[in-house]
């Protein structure tokens, strides 16, 4: 790895792990975080979780797994240029969606609605819960015992109330401080990845058209350039060429804007970054505006497309039916949940029970949730 700036996260300024462990012999602490994430069950399940399209709609679309890998790729490229910690960037990127429910945002909204009397459901918090508590892989501790910096990066936002309950990792929301640069970076790399791959998947699925996208400056500008340079190129390749150039424009703007902000503020330490009063990683105002327009466009034309809405409505119904059934009778949950159920039931009553049900549902893949729904409600499956 190239030399890190002193304000980048590193082993010398790390806030360490919750449970002390001696340093790995041949890896950095953040490589170890990444490796633990890659070996986790929640990470493998991302392969069968929806981004926009339900997992079984086609093998060509993005899933949460390929999305996370794209975020890691974009994040690492930028981290290296900026001289900040590439390993940490990668580990945050690969972990950032671990807490996602099946069926993308429709699933998250439905579960949040189900949990409204029990503290709500938020996928950021759930990602943290996965790495802090839910993974059961190590003899010495529950969860993955990741470094503070990876955990801080996973927790993109949270309410003050929640922050108070979370302790050290929530403290910055109370104090109004920034996270490290690697966390700031992944937050934006996430947006670059999904905005652009949703354009690509939207066109591939036929739910979006090139004509519609002509109102989006980011798209149209690159489309004109590609068409002028390669007038006979088949449409499919034109689209890929445009999308890759769109990503490049956004990445370039982010690198240049962030570099200028870092130079202007001249942080000396990680503490300077945290106390800067604003994020140092960011887009120019112009690019931020273009991004907002693209986001709005995708919301109105892709995420609200009637075919996607039908899927979302159905997905929401599956989630809330499962939730209600498990809340009414928690002994319908698989037996591995009973110990925790008894424990939380004693401590927190129905709120604890609801949290276990939410953990179970959030951990499902799209296809498992559909199968579970059939097992629970299909009269043809009484045997």
Site track 96-115 with Mg ion (rule: CB under 5 A), x = hit: -x------------------
Task: Give min distance, CB of 96 to Mg ion, in A.
Answer: 6
Q: Which residues pair with 147 in a beta bridge?
A: 17
For the record, the structure tokens of 89 come out as: 């960037």
| Segment (H or E) for 291 | helix 285-298
- Count of residues that interact with Mg ion, criterion CB under 5 A: 2
Give the residue with the Cβ less far from Mg ion, 86 or 190: 190
Task: Give min distance, CB of 80 to Mg ion, in A.
Answer: 21
Give the residue with the Cβ less far from Mg ion, 114 or 192: 192
Distance of CA 161 to the CA centre of its chain: 22
Task: Give min distance, CB of 257 to Mg ion, in A.
Answer: 21
Task: Give min distance, CB of 62 to Mg ion, in A.
Answer: 10
Give the residue with the Cβ less far from Mg ion, 190 or 201: 190
Give the residue with the Cβ less far from Mg ion, 86 or 97: 97
For the record, the structure tokens of 54 come out as: 């339900």
* Position closest to Mg ion via CB: 190
Is the CB of residue 347 less than 8 Å from the CB of residue 115?
no
Site track 61-100 with Mg ion (rule: CB under 5 A), x = hit: ------------------------------------x---
Give the residue with the Cβ less far from Mg ion, 190 or 372: 190
Is the CB of residue 375 less than 8 Å from the CB of residue 381?
yes
DSSP structure class, residue 4? P
DSSP structure class, residue 304? T
Q: Which stretch binds Mg ion (CB under 5 A): 160-168, 172-180, 182-190, 339-347?
A: 182-190
Give the residue with the Cβ less far from Mg ion, 71 or 238: 71
C-alpha distances (whole Å) from 169 to each of 100, 175, 252 are 20, 11, 31
Based on the shown chain and the rule CB under 5 A, indicate whether residue 190 belongs to the binding site for Mg ion.
Answer: yes
Task: Give min distance, CB of 309 to Mg ion, in A.
Answer: 21
For the record, the structure tokens of 346 come out as: 């004693």
Q: Which stretch binds Mg ion (CB under 5 A): 144-152, 185-193, 318-326, 372-380?
A: 185-193
Is the CB of residue 287 less than 8 Å from the CB of residue 257?
yes
C-alpha distances (whole Å) from 252 to each of 203, 220, 222, 248 are 24, 18, 14, 6
Q: Which stretch binds Mg ion (CB under 5 A): 55-63, 184-192, 240-248, 301-309?
A: 184-192
DSSP assignments along 350-364, one per residue: HHHHHHHHHHHHHT-
Q: Which stretch binds Mg ion (CB under 5 A): 16-24, 116-124, 189-197, 200-208?
A: 189-197
> How many CB atoms neighbour CB 156 within 10 A?
20
DSSP structure class, residue 99? T
Give the residue with the Cβ less far from Mg ion, 90 or 97: 97
Task: Give min distance, CB of 346 to Mg ion, in A.
Answer: 36
Angle made by CA atoms 160, 161, 164, in degrees to the nearest 5: 85
**Closest alpha carbon to 92 in 191, 185, 215:** 185
Give the residue with the Cβ less far from Mg ion, 96 or 355: 96
Task: Give min distance, CB of 152 to Mg ion, in A.
Answer: 17
Q: How far apart are CA 345 and CA 276, in angstroms?
A: 43
> How many CB atoms neighbour CB 320 within 10 A?
15
DSSP structure class, residue 256? H
Please give the residues from 300 up to 359 whose contact with Mg ion meets the rule CB under 5 A.
Answer: none
Task: Give min distance, CB of 38 to Mg ion, in A.
Answer: 17
Give the residue with the Cβ less far from Mg ion, 17 or 151: 151
Interface residue list for Mg ion (CB under 5 A)? 97, 190
């Amino acid at each position: 790895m190239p030399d890190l700036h002193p304000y980048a996260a590193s082993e010398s300024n790390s806030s360490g792990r919750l449970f002390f462990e001696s340093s790995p012999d041949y890896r950095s602490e953040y490589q170890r975080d990444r490796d633990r994430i890659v070996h986790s069950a929640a990470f493998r399940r991302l392969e069968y979780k929806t981004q926009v399209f339900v997992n079984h709609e086609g093998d060509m679309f993005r899933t949460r797994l390929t999305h996370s890998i794209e975020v890691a790729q974009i994040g690492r490229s930028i981290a290296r240029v900026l001289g900040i910690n590439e390993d940490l960037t990668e580990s945050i990127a690969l972990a950032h969606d671990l807490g996602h429910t099946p069926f993308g945002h429709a699933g998250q909204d439905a579960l949040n609605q189900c949990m409204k009397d029990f503290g709500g459901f938020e996928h950021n918090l759930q990602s943290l819960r996965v790495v802090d508590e839910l993974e059961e892989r190590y003899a010495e501790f529950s969860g993955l015992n990741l470094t503070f910096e990876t955990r801080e990066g996973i927790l993109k936002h949270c309410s003050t109330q929640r922050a108070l309950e979370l302790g050290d990792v929530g403290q910055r929301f109370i104090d109004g401080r920034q996270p490290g640069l690697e966390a700031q970076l992944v937050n934006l790399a996430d947006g670059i990845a999904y905005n652009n791959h949703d354009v690509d998947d939207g066109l591939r699925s036929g739910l979006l058209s090139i004509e519609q996208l002509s109102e989006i400056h980011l798209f149209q500008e690159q489309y004109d350039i590609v068409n002028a340079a390669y007038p006979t190129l088949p449409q499919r390749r034109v689209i890929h060429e445009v999308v890759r150039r769109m990503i490049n424009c956004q990445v370039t703007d982010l690198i240049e804007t962030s570099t200028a902000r870092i130079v202007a503020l001249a942080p000396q330490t990680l503490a300077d970054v945290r106390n800067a009063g604003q994020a140092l990683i960011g887009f120019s105002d112009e690019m931020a505006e273009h991004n907002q327009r693209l986001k709005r466009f995708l919301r109105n034309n892709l995420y609200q497309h009637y075919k996607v809405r039908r899927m979302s409505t159905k997905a929401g119904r599956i989630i809330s039916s499962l939730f209600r059934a498990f809340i009414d009778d928690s002994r319908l949950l698989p037996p591995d949940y009973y110990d925790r159920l008894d424990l939380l039931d004693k401590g927190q009553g129905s709120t604890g029970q609801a949290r276990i049900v939410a953990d179970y549902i959030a951990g499902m893949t799209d296809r498992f949730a559909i199968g579970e729904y059939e097992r629970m409600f299909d009269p043809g499956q009484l045997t």
